[in-house]
């Protein structure tokens, strides 16, 4: 039977998150020590070859992002930012890492900073994650005291300062360009791209932005080596991924699995199957900005390429399991209402469109044919909105139309 | 010219602390909101206009521009909690706290707000009361939590 494979979460049950000594005994910062003996270019090549892709949802190759940011300028100031504004409905993987092994994230960030030549970094964390904020504050202090952060990291001559910045309740600020606006102390309005953050990010300087889970893979790649890492996962999706499985299942929670495991394995072997009296009907993969799937997806490997081939998305790894009692029109209405609430209003098609979609979704139960009109409107929105929020409603709508109407 | 660029950079960097500053002003306000005075203080601190500060404070849902009660109950209404019965919890909370969502109870004890995904989905339905998370809610556990708070403040 399939079992969990832990990289990001390798230490969580062995350590007290508030104790750096615990983490050190369990191997924290060994990857950093290795990194400091290596050449940054050589490391970027390693991360490129590892096949690691961004775990926040978009799946952009991590090594390539590092390369773009590093090569953007050689001696100018560069920044590194951790996107810890986890807000995709059904997703809580980053919270688990931050609350239970903060040094995994910090180590990953220092490695990435060394690789791209950044001397300052920020963790932009959502304001609601109180426990994560407290744990990280202490971890950053401890890491400074132990010489992993600050001036002259471990005597290497490399300087790196890391600070926390709080969000204040905006889903949109999890989008990387909007995050930059918020981090600069402004309203969370998206920026026009290009330029991409690798060219002009925070305060117009080249900036590398990665998700918490992405950073947390870097130490293991250096410690265990490329062969080990690339042996995990599928052809185009290497390594592991944390899935958060919710709904009426026996053991809802977070599970770190090798990429390419199937939904059937995850749901029935790992999460204990459905609760008594409930039948599996399908799932919403990737949160609100995700896609609905039906029973035919049970045996499809959960990986970027296999899901893409079927028009679905892995997204953040959120899996909301649907059962025979799930009120589908009401769930869709809930998703549309979410987008309406979180739309910033900058682009008219998104501001008006999310309101229209919410109104139509409210009538969907009695007028099921409205789904066609909704999909059409969402398509226009996707074409004419600046950021991923306006481009997202089409994803659940199209897949809902395909499998649930 | 060079010192001017440096000055501009310092100002920009300082501004990145404005959300933190608003959080701390709100936390320090006994009514858990940003009063006009708070916004004025912030504008002075960061050398910004009131309009700019208001623009920022009104954008983020964790900031309130009207006074709130001692306990801010933020019930998650996003998809997972919705599916796991958040709506029933909402009506139960309203009857226990004797006020409606979006309002503060007459005794200034409870303010009821909806929140989008709080990231506590394995314990859905979930809510926060001030900075504490409460999950796996059901009518009985809700009643216990809220009645306890009432007793502490009787």
Does the pLDDT at position B83 exceed 90? Answer: yes
Within chain A, all domains assigned CATH 3.10.20.600 are found at 240-323
Q: Which of A130, A203, A248 is closest, CB to CB, to B12? A: A203
3-state SS assignment for residue A52 = coil
Query: pLDDT tens, B10-56?
Result: 888 999 999 999 999 999 999 999 999 999 999 999 999 999 999 99
How many other C-beta atoms can be found within 10 angstroms of the C-beta atom of residue A230?
Answer: 15
Query: pLDDT tens, A378-403?
Result: 999 999 999 999 999 999 999 999 99
Q: Are B57 and B34 in contact (CB under 8 A)?
A: yes
Question: Which residue in the block uniquely carries the two structure tokens 């981090």?
Answer: A183
Cα distance between residue A150 and residue A343, in whole Å: 38
- Asked if A96 reaches chain B (Cβ–Cβ under 8 Å), the answer is no
Q: Which of A165, A171, A254 is closest, CB to CB, to B116? A: A171
CA angle A284, A289, A293 (to 5 degrees): 25
Asked if the A20-230 domain carries CATH number 3.40.50.11540, the reply is yes
How far, CA to CA in Å, does A303 sit from each of A211, A233, A402?
18, 8, 21
DSSP string, A83-104: EE---STT--HHHHHHHH-HHH
Q: What is the pLDDT of residue A96?
A: 98
CATH among 3.90.1150.10, 3.40.190.80, 3.30.70.360, 3.40.30.10 for B71-152: 3.40.30.10
Sketch the domain layout of chain B as residue ranges: 2-59, 71-152
Q: Are A271 and A252 in contact (CB under 8 A)?
A: yes
**In Å, how far is B140's CA from the nearest CA of chain A?**
20
How many other C-beta atoms can be found within 10 angstroms of the C-beta atom of residue B46?
Answer: 17
Q: Which of B62, B83, B119 is closest, CB to CB, to A247? A: B83
Q: What is the pLDDT of residue B9?
A: 81
Residues of B in contact with A127 (CB under 8 A): 19, 23, 60, 62
Cα torsion A71, A73, A77, A78: sign:
negative
Q: What is the pLDDT of residue B34?
A: 98
- Asked if A3 reaches chain B (Cβ–Cβ under 8 Å), the answer is no
Q: What is the pLDDT of residue A161?
A: 98
**In Å, how far is A42's CA from the nearest CA of chain B?**
33
Tally of residues, chain B = 154
Buried b (16+ CB within 10 A) or exposed e, A291-316: bbbeeebbebbbbbebbeeeebbbbb
Paired strand residues for A70: none
Q: Which of B19, B83, B132 is closest, CB to CB, to A166? A: B19
Q: Are A172 and A83 in contact (CB under 8 A)?
A: no
The verdict on a CB contact (< 8 Å) between A246 and B119 is no
Write phi, then psi, for A388 (nearest 5 degrees). Answer: -60, -20
Residues of A in contact with B42 (CB under 8 A): none
The verdict on a CB contact (< 8 Å) between B13 and A203 is yes
Buried b (16+ CB within 10 A) or exposed e, A179-214: bbbbbbbbbbbbbeeeebbbbbbbbebbbbbbbbbb
The domain defined by A240-323 folds into: Ubiquitin-like (UB roll) (3.10.20)
Residue of chain B whose Cα is closest to the Cα of A345: B59
- Window 45-74 of A, Cβ < 8 Å to B: none
Q: What is the pLDDT of residue B6?
A: 79
Cα distance between residue A293 and residue B98, in whole Å: 41
- Asked if A89 reaches chain B (Cβ–Cβ under 8 Å), the answer is yes
CATH among 3.40.50.300, 3.30.470.20, 3.40.1160.10, 1.20.1440.230 for A328-404: 1.20.1440.230
Q: Are A293 and A301 in contact (CB under 8 A)?
A: no
Q: Are A64 and A223 in contact (CB under 8 A)?
A: no
Paired strand residues for B114: B75
ipTM over 0.85: yes
Cα distance between residue A213 and residue A165, in whole Å: 18
Q: What is the pLDDT of residue A57?
A: 87
- Asked if A288 reaches chain B (Cβ–Cβ under 8 Å), the answer is yes
Cα distance between residue A2 and residue A265, in whole Å: 7
Q: Are A46 and A221 in contact (CB under 8 A)?
A: yes
Cα distance between residue A66 and residue A250, in whole Å: 40
Cα torsion A291, A294, A300, A306: sign:
negative
Q: What is the pLDDT of residue B112?
A: 98
Residue of chain A whose Cα is closest to the Cα of B64: A168
Question: Which residue in the block uniquely carries the two structure tokens 């919710």?
Answer: A246
The verdict on a CB contact (< 8 Å) between B117 and A130 is no
Q: Longest C-alpha distance within chain B, in Å?
A: 67
Cα distance between residue A379 and residue A404, in whole Å: 19
How far, CA to CA in Å, does A328 sit from each of A89, A273, A322, B145?
16, 21, 9, 31
Tell how far CA A192 is from the center of its chain.
21
Does the pLDDT at position B72 exceed 70? Answer: yes
Please, which pLDDT band fits residue B1 given cuts at 50, 70 and 90? low
Low-confidence ranges of chain A (pLDDT < 50): none
Q: Are A121 and A81 in contact (CB under 8 A)?
A: yes
Residues of B in contact with A287 (CB under 8 A): 79, 117
């Amino acid at each position: 039977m399939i079992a969990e494979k832990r990289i990001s979460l390798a230490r969580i049950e062995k350590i007290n998150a508030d104790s750096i000594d615990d983490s050190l005994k369990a191997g924290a910062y060994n990857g950093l020590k290795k990194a400091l003996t290596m050449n940054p270019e050589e490391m970027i090549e390693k991360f490129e070859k590892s096949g690691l892709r961004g775990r926040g949802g978009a799946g952009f190759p991590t090594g390539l992002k590092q390369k773009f940011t590093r090569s953007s300028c050689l001696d100018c100031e560069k920044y590194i930012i951790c996107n810890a504004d986890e807000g995709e409905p059904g997703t809580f993987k980053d919270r688990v890492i931050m609350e239970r092994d903060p040094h995994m994230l910090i180590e990953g960030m220092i490695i990435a900073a060394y690789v791209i030549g950044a001397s300052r970094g920020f963790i932009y964390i959502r304001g609601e994650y109180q426990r994560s904020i407290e744990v990280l504050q202490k971890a950053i202090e401890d890491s400074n005291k132990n010489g992993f952060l600050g001036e002259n990291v471990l005597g290497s001559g490399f300087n790196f300062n890391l600070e926390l910045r709080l969000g204040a309740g905006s889903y949109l600020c999890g989008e990387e360009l909007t995050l930059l606006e918020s981090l600069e102390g402004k309203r969370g309005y998206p920026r026009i791209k290009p330029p991409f953050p690798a060219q002009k990010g925070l305060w117009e300087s080249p900036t590398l932005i990665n998700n918490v889970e992405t950073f947390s893979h870097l130490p293991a790649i250096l410690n265990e080596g490329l062969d080990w890492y690339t042996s995990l996962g599928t052809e185009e999706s290497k390594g592991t991924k944390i899935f958060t499985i919710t709904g009426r299942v026996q053991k809802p929670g977070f599970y770190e699995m090798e990429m390419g495991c199937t939904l059937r394995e995850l749901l029935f072997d790992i999460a204990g199957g459905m609760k008594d009296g409930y039948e599996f009907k399908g799932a919403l993969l990737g949160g609100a900005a995700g896609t609905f799937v039906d029973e035919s997806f049970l045996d499809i490997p959960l990986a970027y390429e296999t899901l893409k081939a079927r028009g679905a998305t892995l997204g953040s790894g959120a899996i909301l399991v649907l059962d025979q009692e799930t009120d589908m029109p009401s769930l869709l209405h809930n998703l549309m209402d979410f987008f309406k609430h979180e739309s910033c209003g900058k682009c008219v098609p998104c501001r008006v469109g999310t309101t229209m979609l919410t109104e139509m979704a409210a009538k969907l139960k009695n007028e099921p044919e409205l789904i066609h009109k909704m999909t059409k409107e969402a398509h226009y929105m996707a074409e004419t909105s600046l950021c991923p929020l306006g481009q997202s409603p089409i994803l659940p709508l199209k897949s809902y139309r395909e499998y649930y109407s | 010219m060079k010192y001017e660029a440096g000055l501009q950079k310092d100002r920009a960097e300082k501004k990145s602390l404005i959300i933190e500053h608003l959080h701390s002003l709100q936390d320090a306000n006994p009514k858990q909101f940003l009063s006009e005075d708070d916004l004025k203080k912030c504008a002075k601190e960061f050398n910004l206009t009131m309009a700019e500060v208001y623009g920022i404070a009104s954008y983020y849902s964790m900031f309130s521009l009207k006074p709130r009660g001692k306990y801010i109950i933020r019930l998650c209404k996003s998809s997972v909690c919705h599916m796991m019965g958040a709506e029933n919890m909402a009506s139960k909370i309203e009857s226990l706290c004797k006020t409606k969502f979006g309002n503060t109870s007459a005794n200034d004890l409870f303010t009821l707000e909806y929140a989008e995904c709080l990231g506590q989905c394995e314990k859905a339905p979930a809510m926060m009361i001030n900075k504490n998370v409460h999950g796996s809610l059901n009518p009985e556990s809700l009643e216990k939590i809220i009645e306890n708070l009432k007793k502490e403040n009787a």
